[in-house]
Amino acid sequence: MKFSRRAVIVGGLSLLAERFIGRAVGADFASQDPVLSAAVDAYIYGYPLAIIDTTRRQLTNVATAGPTRAPMGRLLRLRTYPAADDHSVPAPNADTLYTYAWLDVSKEPSVLSIPDMGDRYFMMPMLSGWTDVFQSPGTRTTGQRAQKYAITGPGWSGALPAGVTEYKSPTGIVWLLGRIYCTGTPEDYAKVHELQDQISLVPLSRYGKPYTPPPARIDPDVDMKTPPVAQVNALSVNGYFNYLAKLMRSNPPLPRDAPIVARMASIGLTPGRDFDPSKLNAFDRTAVDAVPKLALQKMLARFNNQATINGWIYFGPSVANWGTDYLLRALCNMLGPGWKLPADAVYPASEKASGGQDYNGNNKYVIHFEKGQMPPVNGFWSVTMYDANRFFVPNPLSRYTISQRDNLVANDDGSVNIYLQPDSPGKEKEANWLPAPKAKFGVMLRMYWPKEGPLSILDGTWKPPPIRRVEA
């Protein structure tokens, strides 16, 4: 067998690249090599756009609106909390009923009409393709009155009907991720359903006219089972960069992104064009194969290095208005897309007990709130239990969350304990029991419309208490 000189050279470069990649994290080689560094940063920069589009494709690839999915441009009105076996979106909640839609406003605006919501808490945040919340009508911001909004694309200009307010999206993709508070009882479900049915969404050209949505086409190539994060993480670097370049055609980078866009161009990644690795030498073309792994490791390192408050991870004020903190944006979308502005909701999460060990259902844990120290909110709060993959934990009570609407039993001194364990803590304590799996788990504290000082998580004057293991 004969080998060409070119094959020998390329083969040697491949071995050399593998050696560097094998110890890349320890030696931080990726940050020292300008091409590999640019490729890793480009991967992280584009991660939320890839995640949100993969989520969109999976949740809209149906012919008609169903229980959990609806075609593009159509409202989906979820009538119940997500089922325990629904793994379409990580970190679901059992506090609100979703009313949401995926829009493509690159060609035509969509008009959203919201009825008078009475005294019912609601929010209708609108996320761009980059997962920034660019508008958030709702109880906190616009009040309870009836409202009408035209959601327009980045290049649209024109006249709007009287009484319709323009909300301009910086991208063609828009995720309208509305939530309406619900206690989960049959009676309250019915009241929320009535409000949901009065919310409407139509193309601007059909506003004020009878409208029947056109037939939707099902794409057989869309993976409807694998979670979106797993799908994106499995892409090769060429497949990922081609996907990203295509998405950036109708979801353009923002002016603040000019430096990273220039770095992307230096490695052959340009919005709207196929990824062109020919700009790279043979060594770099081989080295960039490790980019997905290196980028994901960088995200996980960011998570592991995140400062905690009594064991709770809270990502701070830039959430959903990310600016140029691309690593935080990527990490949060890896944990699950759909983050809200901190003024609307704060979601501290806890993955480890106060001693630093992972939560495990073979142990028992307690959250102890001192008297007068329950989560300070204008809206409502809840604590949700998740398995290791951030989905609901099936249990005999079908109880996935503990919240202020529950009849929690206080201790003699006015404090409150919440028990996290797989088995009942006893009949007298069962009202405060949040069932855990007999395996690794995590919990999330949701605080909707958190109060501002003197007791506020927003400025640190209130802190969630630690979760402590109960010793046998």
- For residues 359 and 424, state if they share a domain: yes
Exposed, middle or buried, 324 (CB in 10 Å: 0-12/13-18/19+)?
middle
- For residues 336 and 425, state if they share a domain: yes
- Do 125 and 136 touch, CB atoms closer than 8 A? yes
Q: Is residue 219 included in any domain, yes or no?
A: no
- Do 90 and 229 touch, CB atoms closer than 8 A? yes
Q: Is residue 437 included in any domain, yes or no?
A: yes
- For residues 464 and 349, state if they share a domain: yes
Q: Which of 155, 154, 107, 112 is nearest to 137 (CA)?
A: 112
- For residues 280 and 268, state if they share a domain: yes
Identify the pLDDT of residue 371. 97
- For residues 461 and 315, state if they share a domain: yes
- For residues 189 and 273, state if they share a domain: no
Domain stop point among 167, 188, 206: 206
The token pair that represents 359 in the structure block = 């939560």
- Do 275 and 246 touch, CB atoms closer than 8 A? no
Domain stop point among 255, 271, 304: 304
List per-residue pLDDT tens for the chain, 472 residues long: 333 333 323 333 333 333 334 444 433 556 668 999 999 999 999 999 999 999 999 999 999 988 889 999 999 999 999 889 888 677 889 999 999 999 999 999 999 999 999 999 999 999 999 999 999 999 999 999 999 999 999 989 999 999 999 999 999 999 999 999 999 999 999 999 999 999 999 999 999 999 999 889 999 999 999 999 999 999 999 999 999 999 999 999 999 999 999 999 999 999 999 998 888 888 888 889 999 999 999 999 998 888 899 999 999 889 999 999 999 999 999 988 999 999 999 999 999 887 789 999 999 999 999 999 999 999 999 999 999 998 999 999 999 999 999 999 999 999 999 999 999 999 999 999 999 999 999 999 999 999 998 899 999 999 999 999 998 6
User: Residue 299 and residue 278: Cα distance in Å, rounded?
Assistant: 28
Contacting residues for 45 by C-beta, under 8 A, at least 6 apart: 257, 260, 264, 326, 330
- Do 457 and 314 touch, CB atoms closer than 8 A? yes
- Do 83 and 58 touch, CB atoms closer than 8 A? no
- For residues 293 and 313, state if they share a domain: no
Q: What order do you get walking across the sheet with 433-435 strand by strand?
A: 433-435, 416-421, 364-369, 467-470
Chain centroid offset of residue 73 CA: 20
Chain centroid offset of residue 467 CA: 24
Q: Which 8-state DSSP code applies to residue 138? A: B
Q: Are strands 147-152 and 200-203 parallel, antiparallel or unpaired?
A: unpaired
- For residues 251 and 394, state if they share a domain: no
User: Residue 52 and residue 174: Cα distance in Å, rounded?
Assistant: 10
Q: Is residue 388 included in any domain, yes or no?
A: yes
Identify the pLDDT of residue 8. 29
Q: Is residue 211 included in any domain, yes or no?
A: no
Using left for φ > 0, alpha for ψ between -120 and 50, and beta otherwise, residue 312 falls in beta
CA max distance for the chain: 85
Domain total for the chain?
A: 3
- For residues 328 and 447, state if they share a domain: yes
Print the domain residue range for 276.
Answer: 5-53+235-304
Domain stop point among 282, 304, 326: 304
The residue assigned the tokens 């709770």 is 312
Q: Is residue 230 included in any domain, yes or no?
A: no
CATH of the domain at 353: 2.60.120.600
Q: What is the DSSP string of 271-324?
A: TTS---GGGS-HHHHHHGGGHHHHHHHHHHHHHHT--EETTEE---TTTTS-TT
- Do 415 and 368 touch, CB atoms closer than 8 A? yes
**From residue 323, how far is each of 40, 131, 328 by CA, in Å?**
19, 11, 10
CATH of the domain at 157: 2.60.40.1610
> What's the sign of the alpha-carbon dihedral 331, 271, 244, 52?
positive
> What would you report as the CA-atom Rg of the chain, rounded to the nearest whole angstrom?
24
Q: Are strands 364-369 and 467-470 parallel, antiparallel or unpaired?
A: antiparallel
- For residues 315 and 454, state if they share a domain: yes
- For residues 257 and 369, state if they share a domain: no
User: Residue 290 and residue 295: Cα distance in Å, rounded?
Assistant: 9
Q: Is residue 216 included in any domain, yes or no?
A: no
- Do 431 and 418 touch, CB atoms closer than 8 A? no
Q: Is residue 202 included in any domain, yes or no?
A: yes
User: Residue 263 and residue 270: Cα distance in Å, rounded?
Assistant: 10
- For residues 142 and 94, state if they share a domain: yes
User: Residue 252 and residue 268: Cα distance in Å, rounded?
Assistant: 17
Q: Is residue 414 included in any domain, yes or no?
A: yes
